[in-house]
Amino acid sequence: MDPMEFLAESLETPAKYVLDMLFFPTLALLYSLVMLSWLQCIALHGMKRQFQFFFNQANIVPNIVSYNVLINTHCDAGEVDVSLDVYAHILANAPFGPPSVTYRHLTKGLVEVDRISNAMNLFREMLNKGHGTDSLVYNNLISGFLELGNLERANELFDELRERCLVYDGIANATYMEWFFEKGMRK
């Protein structure tokens, strides 16, 4: 039996109703983890099928983990515009705001497809809306500017990172070191 058929049959039982009533947040998380597992085993198409099944056919309400898996998957596939559509859907429909993890995926995806100005606009939008940021969001932008050879702009973001982030984990330092080594500047 196909795993999708098994899940479809098992979701149509009275037990599903009880699980939905008692463990709904846990159930949504479980489905998110199943999606993530499938993502590691099958192609993007399979993950999209899982998302469609769980959240449209089975009427499970997506949580932020589910959305972030979908956003990250599309970014990894170079489908950044689709990821931005999912982000817009979150803003318009979800009862929660996107956390910094969402912005990590989106800024990284935008930088990887050479859309640093879009990444910066999204970053500024995030800050203007009062959403929290972290060193990894900054690091994605710093990395993008370093790849463009714009050390000055990267340094400005690094200074901002040290001012804004309460916890600085040093990840940007490693990005700088890697860039300097690639340029042959060992000191």
Domains and CATH numbers, the chain: 94-187 (1.25.40.10)
Q: Are 83 and 106 in contact (CB under 8 A)?
A: yes
What is the rounded average pLDDT for all residues in the chain? 79
**Which of 2-6, 75-79, 150-154 is the least confident region?**
2-6
Give the amino acid at 100: S
149 to 145, 155, 157, 180: CA distances (angstroms): 6, 11, 14, 11
Q: Are 139 and 107 in contact (CB under 8 A)?
A: no
Reported as a pLDDT band with limits 50, 70 and 90, residue 28 is low
Mean pLDDT of 9-28: 50
Q: Let me know the angle formed at the C-alpha of 17 by 51 and 57, rounded to the nearest 5 degrees.
A: 25
What confidence tens digit (pLDDT) does each residue in 148-163 have? Answer: 999 999 999 999 998 8
**What's the rounded Cα separation, in Å, for the pair 89 and 63?**
12
Q: Are 150 and 164 in contact (CB under 8 A)?
A: no
What confidence tens digit (pLDDT) does each residue in 163-178 have? Answer: 887 777 788 989 999 9
Reported as a pLDDT band with limits 50, 70 and 90, residue 145 is very high
